[in-house]
Amino acid sequence: MKAFAELYAQLDATTSSNAKLAAMRDYFEKAAAADAAWAVYFLSGGRPRQLVPTRVLREQAMTLANLPEWLFEESYQAVGDLAETLSLLLPQADHSNDEGLATWMEDKLLPLRGLPPEELAERLPLFWSQLDRSSLMVCIKLITGSFRVGVSKLLVTRALAALADIDSKRVAQRLVGYTDLSHRPSAERYLKLIAPESEDEHAQRGGQPYPFFSRPLPATARRSVRGVARSGAELAGGMEVGRYSRATGQT
C-alpha cells in the first residue's frame, strides 16, 4: 500500500504527462505483478462499490480522534474531502505496514463489505493503525470508492507499452474489459497485458478490434457534418410535405 500511496502522491503533484509516465513506469518496474494488477485497475478508472458505509467511517473517526460531531463537520467543511479529513484527524500510526496493494485489497478491504457495524468497529482501527498518513488517505479512498487521480486510461496504456516495449495499440486492446466489476485484477491478467506480442494474438481474440481514443473533429470536418445533417433535414422535410399533399389531395 505504501508504494501505491507514493505513486498517488507523485501523480497528484504534477500536471506533466512525461512526469506521470515516468512515475507509473517506475512503479510498474518495481511492483509485484499482483500489486501492479490492482494499480492498473484503479489508475484506469476501475472502482469497486463502496465497501463501508460513510456513516460508519465518520463515527469511527470521531471515536478514535475523540472529537464531537460539530468539530468533525467543521474540519470536513474546511478540507472538502472525506478521505483527506479522516487521514488528518485519525491518530498517526506508530509504524507503517509494508504489505502490498493486492494483499490490502484482497485480504483486508474487500472482505469488509457487508460486515455488521460491530465487526467494522474492530477491524477499521486495526487497519488504520498500520498506515502512515498518505497511505491512510489512499486506503480510505479505496474503501469509499472515491479513488481518482489525474491520469487517463491512454496515459496508463502508454506507460505499460513503454515498460513492455510493445505497441500501445496492442496494450489498449488487451485492456478492454479490464476494469469490469465481474473480473478481479490478478497477477496473471497483468502479465498478459505486458506479454510480448505474438503473431496470432489478434486471431486468438476473435478479431476484436482495437479501441480508439476520440479526438475533436477539425473545423472543416465539423462544417461538413453540419452540412450533411442540414441536407438530410431538408430532404426529410420535403418528403413529409409530399406525403401530406398526396393524403389531402393538395398541391
Give per-residue pLDDT as tens, 191-205. 999 999 887 665 655
- DSSP annotation of 183 reads S
Is the pLDDT at 166 greater than 90? The verdict is yes
Has residue 227 been placed in a domain?
yes
Q: Is the pLDDT of residue 212 over 80?
A: no
> What is d(CA 178, CA 38) in angstroms, rounded to the nearest whole number?
10
Listed residue (117, 49, 55, 43) closest to 86, CA to CA? 55
Structural domain boundaries enclosing 245: 217-251
pTM of the model: 0.78
What's the average model confidence in pLDDT over 88-110? 89
72 occurs within a structural domain:
no
CA distances from 139 to 24, 134, 178, 238 (A): 19, 9, 21, 62
160, 174 in Cβ contact below 8 A?
A: no
pLDDT band, very low/low/confident/very high, at 181 (cuts 50, 70, 90): confident
29 pLDDT exceeds 80? Answer: yes
| Selected residue with higher pLDDT from 19 and 220 | 19
Is 51 part of a structural domain of the chain?
Answer: no
Q: What is the pLDDT of residue 214?
A: 46
**Does residue 225 fall inside a structural domain?**
yes
Angle at 39 between CA 37 and CA 43, to 5 degrees: 125
Q: What DSSP designation does 107 have?
A: I
Is residue 245 situated within a structural domain?
A: yes
Q: How confident is the model at residue 12 (pLDDT cuts 50, 70, 90)?
A: very high
Domain for residue 248, yes or no? yes
Q: Can you tell me the distance from the alpha carbon of 156 to that of 139, in angstroms, rounded to the nearest whole number?
A: 21
**What's the pLDDT score for residue 41?**
96
Q: What is the mean pLDDT of residues 5-21?
A: 96
Distance CA 196, CA 34 (A): 19
Q: Would you mind telling me the total number of residues written for the chain in this entry?
A: 251
pLDDT tens digits for 118-147? Answer: 999 999 999 999 999 999 999 999 999 999
What digits encode the pLDDT tens for the residues 231-244?
555 555 555 545 54
In this prediction, residue 40 carries a pLDDT of 97
83 located within any domain: no
Q: Which burial class, exposed, middle or buried, applies to 226 when counting CB atoms under 10 A from its CB (0-12, 13-18, 19+)?
A: exposed
Count: domains in the chain:
1
User: For residue 5, which phi and psi values (nearest 5 degrees)?
Assistant: -65, -35
Decide if 234 is inside a domain.
yes
